[in-house]
Amino acid sequence: MKNMKKQLRNILAVACILPLSAQAQDIHFSQFYETSILRNPSLTGIFTGDYKVGAIYKNQWSSISKPYQTGLINAELRIPVNNVNDFVSVGLLGYYDRAGSINMQTISAYPAVSYSKSLEDGHNSYLSVGFTGGYTQRNYDPTKATLNNQFVNGSYSPDNPTGENFNNPKYSYWDLGAGITFSSTSGDGEEANRLNYVVGVAGYHFTQPNTSFADNSDSRLDMRWNVNAAVSKELNETFSFQIHANYMRQGDYNETIAGGLIGWNKKDAGGDVRFVLFGGVFYRFKDAFIPTIKLRYKDVAFNFSYDVNTSRLRAATNLQGGYEISVIKTGIFNDPERKQARVICPVFY
């Protein structure tokens, strides 16, 4: 039994080392709708308010290995530029991802800028174009690797030579991405219960950087294409809903995730939403169901979701994927010139 545990540890370590020779893939979140720059840089600034800041933490696969941990912070700012309601948005996204027993770690920073052009069609329609350029560093700890050569006569010893050459446990690269988004409403801009919608497409890794730890190897990062869509509507004074969908393709890998939230809204005497309790479910195709709860009080929102694994890995995970939590804060500045700009975007509570 002890040797079997050692072998299992060995398998997990080797699984983490696979990126040494395999194509890398980007991180993803179950609460993807809170990660604008990561999905499409032209989504930067598509929210109600003057600024938006947030943080997300994801913990997964703790039932079968050392937990995979991913954290993200995001900040966005909208800046009106003329008297026809156009605006420029700037943002910054940073994340880290740590995986497996050898602490395979990725740290990235992605600033973004977008320009949203008002189409002045009576529906609060905007065409937004955005760009992002980032820096990524990846590294692992070779001293924590467990390899076959360290097992002698069925016995494992960390003092046994690995037989491997770990000359370069770190690399970094620069990256570029761009996207376009169309956002609008179904009715007149003054209607309180109008339907809001957003659609967009983006591309990442235009530079296709080398992602190999080996000095003499060339392993290019595949470009990632992303398609996003969202709809929201206030049904009446009490209830609202929102639907989000996202499709991502990177090389041979693709991911489709979609779902929705139903909200119970509590408004103050002035008609502004003061409190919203959301409940819903998302589905990552062939991978996981994701029940989700979201609580919004004034301008602060708290999200909690849990991945119920449904893939072939469910036999090992016992349906346990991982949990994800986030905190999002939006706000306005005391500037009368921004009053119109802060209310003309699609509303997603």
β-bridge pairing 320-331 and 273-284: unpaired
2-338 architecture in CATH?
Answer: Beta Barrel (2.40)
pTM of the model: 0.83
Q: Quote the tokens at residue 261.
A: 């939230």
What percent of the residues of the chain are helix, what percent strand, and what percent coil, each to the nearest 5?
10, 50, 35
Handedness of CA 219, 222, 223, 229 (dihedral sign): negative
Residues 6+ apart with CB under 8 A from 184: 119, 121, 123, 124, 125, 126, 196, 197, 346
How high is the mean pLDDT of the chain? 82
pLDDT tens digits along 267-303: 877 777 789 999 999 999 988 999 999 999 988 999 9
Quick one: pLDDT at residue 174? 94
Most confidently modeled of 53-67, 112-126, 334-348?
112-126
Quick one: pLDDT at residue 85? 84
Mean predicted confidence (pLDDT) in 237-255? 93
With pLDDT > 70 as the criterion, what percentage of the chain qualifies?
A: 79
Cα 113 from chain centroid?
A: 18
DSSP structure class, residue 221? P
Mean predicted confidence (pLDDT) in 262-267? 91
Give the confidence band of 231 by pLDDT, cuts at 50, 70, 90. very high
CA angle 271, 273, 278 (to 5 degrees): 145
- Kindly report the backbone phi and psi dihedral angles of residue 331, in degrees, each rounded to the nearest multiple of 5, phi listed first: -165, 175
Quick one: pLDDT at residue 64? 58
122: left (phi over 0), alpha (psi -120 to 50) or beta: left
Mean predicted confidence (pLDDT) in 330-343? 65
| Of 209 and 267, the one with more pLDDT | 209
Quick one: pLDDT at residue 11? 41
DSSP structure class, residue 102? T
| Of 318 and 79, the one with more pLDDT | 79
Residue 75 β-bridge partners: 53, 92
SS3 category, 10: helix
Give the confidence band of 319 by pLDDT, cuts at 50, 70, 90. low
pLDDT tens digits along 30-39: 999 999 999 9
DSSP structure class, residue 207? T
**Per-domain residue ranges of the chain:** 2-338
Question: Can you tell me the distance from the alpha carbon of 223 to that of 250, in angstroms, rounded to the nearest whole number?
Answer: 6
